[in-house]
């Protein structure tokens, strides 16, 4: 490996490592199964038709993009929308929107994880088309589950590469520490796992004028908008996450879940 290539790899390593860690966390949460994401080798020149371009501002600045084949992009988008795998010959606006939202979440998580390395950073989606600049560095990233492997290429602009080089000395200590500790985004997620959230069962709703409310007495009957055979709602912090049947468990009310909200709807509870 030539000296110039080695220097580029070292400069990009913290950024790429953060991206891989955030992608693993977000894909696992949003798609409902464990994803492992790792930077493998330098990417070769390729024409990947699905490109998502991002801009970096703050502690680092410049542009970068994620490029995928239409097949790989459709697999991720379909899983994100919880729909059957779509015919990859037709790249629809719905699949594009899903891909953009999924990688927007990854970029947001990565921006938070970059803070110890580069201070406040914003990573924002700026285009769904391939940028005009020629990449200064390209890297292959593999995302995999037990049954599926998705390859993508991360391309870094010359401006961003220069910016990453400027913070490389400060990142040396951080990178070494990261090898001994859990990744920043994983530690943040672990902290959330112990947060208590209020769960509420909603049997139905009723809009009542103030007059009727003031006239309520013991024995009054309020008719709700839901029939007895319909499922009840499970709300977490006021947001719907599941529906099910009411059961009795050792003398207490319980819920047998029959319908579950999409992964992205459940993630909204944490926002």
Out of 107-116, 180-189, 243-252, which region has the weakest mean confidence (pLDDT)? Answer: 180-189
CB contact burial 190-228 (16+ within 10 A = b; e otherwise): eeeeeeeeeeeeeeeeeeeeeeeeeeeeeeeeeeeeeee
- pLDDT value at 86 more than 60: no
- pLDDT value at 228 more than 90: no
The answer to whether the predicted template modeling score (pTM) of the entire model surpasses 0.85 is: no
- pLDDT value at 246 more than 70: yes
Nearest alpha carbon to residue 59 among 116, 12, 98: 116
As a whole number of angstroms, the distance between CA 52 and CA 141 comes to 14
132-169 pLDDT tens trace: 899 998 999 999 988 888 889 999 999 999 999 888 76
Q: Does residue 48 contact residue 68 with C-beta atoms inside 8 Å?
A: yes
pLDDT of residue 225: 84
210: Cβ–Cβ under 8 A, 6 or more apart, which residues? none
As a whole number of angstroms, the distance between CA 129 and CA 32 comes to 28
pLDDT of residue 268: 56
94-134 pLDDT tens trace: 888 889 999 999 999 999 888 888 888 899 999 877 888 99
Domains of the chain: 3-193 (3.40.1550.10), 199-270 (2.30.330.10)
């Amino acid at each position: 490996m030539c000296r110039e290539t080695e220097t580029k790899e070292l400069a990009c390593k913290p950024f790429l490592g953060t991206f891989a860690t955030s992608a693993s966390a977000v894909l696992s949460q949003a798609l409902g199964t464990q994803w492992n994401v790792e930077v493998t080798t330098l990417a070769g020149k390729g024409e990947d038709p699905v490109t998502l371009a991002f801009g970096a501002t703050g502690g680092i600045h410049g542009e970068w993009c994620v490029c995928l084949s239409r097949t790989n992009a459709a697999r991720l988008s379909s899983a994100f929308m919880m729909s059957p795998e779509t015919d990859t010959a037709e790249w629809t606006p719905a699949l594009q929107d899903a891909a953009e939202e999924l990688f927007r979440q990854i970029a947001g998580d990565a921006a938070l994880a970059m803070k110890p390395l580069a201070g406040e950073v914003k990573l924002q989606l700026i285009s769904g088309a391939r940028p005009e600049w020629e990449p200064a560095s390209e890297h292959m990233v593999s995302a995999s589950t037990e049954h599926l492997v998705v390859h993508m290429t991360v391309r870094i602009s010359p401006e961003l590469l220069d910016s990453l080089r400027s913070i490389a000395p400060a990142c040396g200590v951080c990178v070494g520490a990261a090898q001994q500790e859990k990744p920043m985004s994983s530690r943040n997620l672990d902290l959330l796992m112990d947060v208590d959230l209020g769960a509420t069962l909603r049997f139905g709703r009723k809009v009542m004028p103030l007059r009727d409310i003031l006239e309520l007495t013991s024995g009054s009957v309020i008719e709700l908008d839901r029939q007895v055979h319909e499922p009840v709602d499970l709300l977490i912090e006021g947001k719907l996450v599941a529906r099910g049947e009411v059961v009795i468990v050792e003398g207490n009310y319980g819920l047998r879940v029959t319908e579950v909200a999409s992964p992205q709807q459940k993630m909204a509870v944490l926002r």
